[in-house]
Structure 1
């Protein structure tokens, strides 16, 4: 029998979250972002639950081809565009939409004899300073793209660095975008998950929800998405595999970074950082054990972590444990560990078996 650790993916919750997002932006089309293997949930497990989306957005050709060969006919957007000029035949063959963010990509498109014009998302660097053309050159780039025979519809695309914070941080980026694109007649796609939830003035023709589809918060705080009734899609579960009765003054785990101050009942859970649980999660990180909230103690090991069961006498060997999921939002665990839910969802390792729930 394999170890009791397991992950679940609730596709009904995924469909529910997409409907919720659509209702928030009823005048916009939706790119469902499924990059990073659907944020760690498994693209092959998720795409059917998102079948009523307007398009899929991702990074890898392998994932795009998987969708096309599965019968997906909606647009598929390559969020980082193509990486080499010889990628363009794949884009042409599978009718993909590509971001364009660099001069060399413009040159490659100009030299490519596409069988069918390629839809392009013109990326504007709006203060994120990762990818994109500066606002003052966007009009010129758009004009160049419009005359290329290899290019079809051009959509303006940007990204907000601080959409998960106060709306004051969007004022300047929005003004910059408006000034740079006044003379451009083209669809716009600006809103990520945070902007979709909290800044309806960014919705325009397309939105790009990502982590919210999976029931996690773009701010990293579970409380921020409570009003939207988003449902967690992934659950990470295991069991108690041993129990230790320790006296006061004993160390727990590697480095004895936790020392008991009174007698404690310590449960050992079959889950560790080799499964994707954050090693840097401190003592006190919440864990749901046998229907009750408990807390971790000591350093997370490769294959195990420890939890205080002193106030949970009903827990025994074999008791069910939820590391995150319906009772414990992934953002709650991430916040305790000083990271974000995105990282935990995408970090679950291959040795954890997944089960799809419908």
Structure 2
């Protein structure tokens, strides 16, 4: 019998979340962002499920785009970080990819390279994130140079990234938005600005394209949920079983370092899941877990292959009982990955992308 831990991937939920992103911005086209192995959900299976819905996909790098092409995906693919060397432009050309440019050397490489056909090119603008991109002033000259080279670059867009679109305080978002709006109007340029939180909550940022990412996988990226984000459906359920049950006297410790001690005579369950599978070792005592669809809590430090939960108030739980670390239990109860992330002092992105390859993915629907 195989180890019971698995990640169930609900492709119907993935499609539902994409449709929500699309419907929130009916005048935009929506990229489906599939970087980081589709946020840990499986690059090619997620792309295949979305191929009839999404007009284009977005990834971080050429290797991810090549994996999609090898998996039979023919839709346009945007390289969000562009190329990492001039030599990669040959593959961009051969595979019909779209690309962002964020640095002068990328622009120079694109203008020098002999292409079979012009590359759809998105100019990254640093409007306040201060990672990648040209200043708005510099973007004007880059736009002019690429516009004057129609055999090298075509279908120019401006793109940028918001630092605080997920925050309830909109001051910094509005500063970025004002700079981008002025630049786009000056150039008469179509835009791709809205990430997941902006897609959900900042309709003024919706452009020719939006690029929903983590929301596609059912995680709510907003600091304060809104009506739209509450309609998201979880895509991944990290599911295991109890493999042992122990009875402890009051005061007995559990796990490495004895961090948790039983406050009363307690019943403890051992779950086949640990940090060697990608479950966060920083999860604190009290981190929620579902056992047979009922909420209980993690107790004691997470081990490499196991973690322990409090079963004292769940007398029906036994060896073989279903355990959901996040996602949907068999009885329909849902434990949000966002809630689990808060107990780990992290964000859902790290939990979802951190599920390791030894955890089998099982795909349903789609």
Short-chain TM bin: over 0.9
Structure 1 distance, partners of 2:186, 2:311, is 64
2:283 to 281, 284, 287: 281
CA RMSD of aligned residues (A): 1.4
Residue-by-residue CA offset, 1:68-113 (whole Å, 9 max, x unaligned): 3444332210000000000000000001001000011111011101
Query: 2:120 touches 2:154 (CA, 8 Å); kept in 1?
Result: yes
Query: 2:61 touches 2:80 (CA, 8 Å); kept in 1?
Result: no
* Secondary structure, counterpart of 1:182 in structure 2: helix
Name the structure 2 match of 1:209: 212
1:340 to 347, 354, 358: 347
Query: 1:156 touches 1:188 (CA, 8 Å); kept in 2?
Result: yes
Query: 2:284 touches 2:298 (CA, 8 Å); kept in 1?
Result: yes
Task: Report the Cα offset of residue 224 of structure 1.
Answer: 4.8
Structure 1 distance, partners of 2:60, 2:148, is 26
Task: Report the Cα offset of residue 190 of structure 1.
Answer: 0.3
2:361 to 351, 354, 357: 354
* Secondary structure, counterpart of 1:262 in structure 2: coil
Structure 2 distance, partners of 1:305, 1:294, is 13
Query: 1:20 touches 1:228 (CA, 8 Å); kept in 2?
Result: no
Given the alignment of the two structures, is residue 25 of structure 1 paired with residue 28 of structure 2, yes or no?
Answer: no
5+ residue gaps, structure 2, are 329-333
Name the structure 2 match of 1:171: 174
Alignment of 1:150-169 (within 5 A): 150-166=152-168, 167-169=170-172
Name the structure 1 match of 2:147: 146
- Given the two structures, how large is their TM-score scaled by the length of structure 1? 0.97
Structure 2 distance, partners of 1:259, 1:68, is 53
Structure 1 distance, partners of 2:243, 2:310, is 14
- Given the two structures, how large is their TM-score scaled by the length of structure 2? 0.95
Query: 1:138 touches 1:181 (CA, 8 Å); kept in 2?
Result: no
Structure 2 distance, partners of 1:179, 1:42, is 39
Name the structure 2 match of 1:15: 15
Deviates more, 1:154-163 or 1:212-221: 212-221
* Secondary structure, counterpart of 2:114 in structure 1: coil
5+ residue gaps, structure 1, are none
**Residue correspondences, number:** 357
Query: 2:253 touches 2:259 (CA, 8 Å); kept in 1?
Result: yes
Structure 1 distance, partners of 2:191, 2:69, is 25
Structure 2 distance, partners of 1:159, 1:207, is 11
Specify whether residues 315 and 226 from structure 1 end up closer, same or farther in structure 2 by C-alpha distance, changes over 3 A only: farther
Task: Report the Cα offset of residue 67 of structure 1.
Answer: 2.5
Name the structure 2 match of 1:79: 80
Alignment of 1:1-358 (within 5 A): 1-51=1-51, 52-148=53-149, 149-166=151-168, 167-219=170-222, 223-224=225-226, 228-326=230-328, 327-358=334-365
Structure 1 distance, partners of 2:250, 2:338, is 32
* Secondary structure, counterpart of 1:74 in structure 2: coil
* Secondary structure, counterpart of 1:22 in structure 2: helix
Task: Report the Cα offset of residue 29 of structure 1.
Answer: 0.4
Specify whether residues 227 and 37 from structure 1 end up closer, same or farther in structure 2 by C-alpha distance, changes over 3 A only: closer
Query: 1:217 touches 1:224 (CA, 8 Å); kept in 2?
Result: no
Task: Report the Cα offset of residue 227 of structure 1.
Answer: 5.1
Structure 1 distance, partners of 2:71, 2:305, is 36
* Secondary structure, counterpart of 1:297 in structure 2: coil
Residue-by-residue CA offset, 1:248-305 (whole Å, 9 max, x unaligned): 1111100111112211101011100011110000000000001210101010111111
